[in-house]
Amino acid sequence: MRRTAEEAAQTRRALLEAALEVFAERGYAAATLSGIAARAGLTRGAVYHHFTDKAELYLATIAENWGAAAAPVWAHLEDTDAAPQERIRRFLVAFFTAFEKNFALRTTFAMSMQGSELPELQVGLEDKRRVMDAWAAQLAALLRAGVDRHGEVVPPESGAIAIIAAVNGVAATWLACPGLFSPARQAEALAQAVLHGILPRQE
């Protein structure tokens, strides 16, 4: 009997969930398709039905889990009811909080960092670079709107890169030294520290 589209989608989702766990535990090099299939309660053949190889599965795991986990965080940048600086502050607080508490967000972030060092994943990670370009442009537009009202401290494009670098730096530092601080508990202070030198304080 041919599998229905719904059954195929459920199998693919199960593989992506299992892959997220296995890649988080073992890393790209040590993870195996057999191990991922076993974690999902499926056969290795089921993996090859949906994915050509481990690299394709790795990239799909990043793309699909990151999108779902990050959407509520990025939504703060789209909130047109708030002032530009406030939208960025809320985004930063949400990211730092979710990074510690949301397994999918944290793991896919770590996976994308590891993947950037692996030649076989470079083509797939072009999507990540496009997302980063769009993110930088969005942040720069918000900063530009903010400085129009409050006076320029740093150029908006440089400020956007500084925000991205700070977010990545905090995340990478916590991954390397999780006992050093708590992004969730210190989210507000971290957000204010990031913004302090980019936009002036509002009176």
Contact between 33 and 54 under an 8 Å Cβ cutoff? The reply is yes
pLDDT at 185: 96
**Res. 61 pLDDT band, cuts 50 70 90:** very high
Asked which of 35-44, 152-161, 167-176 is least confident by mean pLDDT, the reply is 152-161
Cα 77 to Cα 181: distance, rounded to the nearest angstrom: 26
* 12 has a pLDDT exceeding 90: yes
Scored b (16 or more CB within 10 A) or e, 37-73 reads bebbebeeebbeebbeebbebbbbbbbbbbeebbeeb
- Which residue did the predictor score with more confidence, 122 or 63? 63
Q: For residue range 120-136, list pLDDT tens digits in order.
A: 676 666 767 777 888 89
pLDDT at 95 over 90: yes
Helix (H, G, I), strand (E, B) or coil at 32: coil
Does position 148 have pLDDT exceeding 60, yes or no?
no
- 3-class DSSP assignment, residue 111: helix
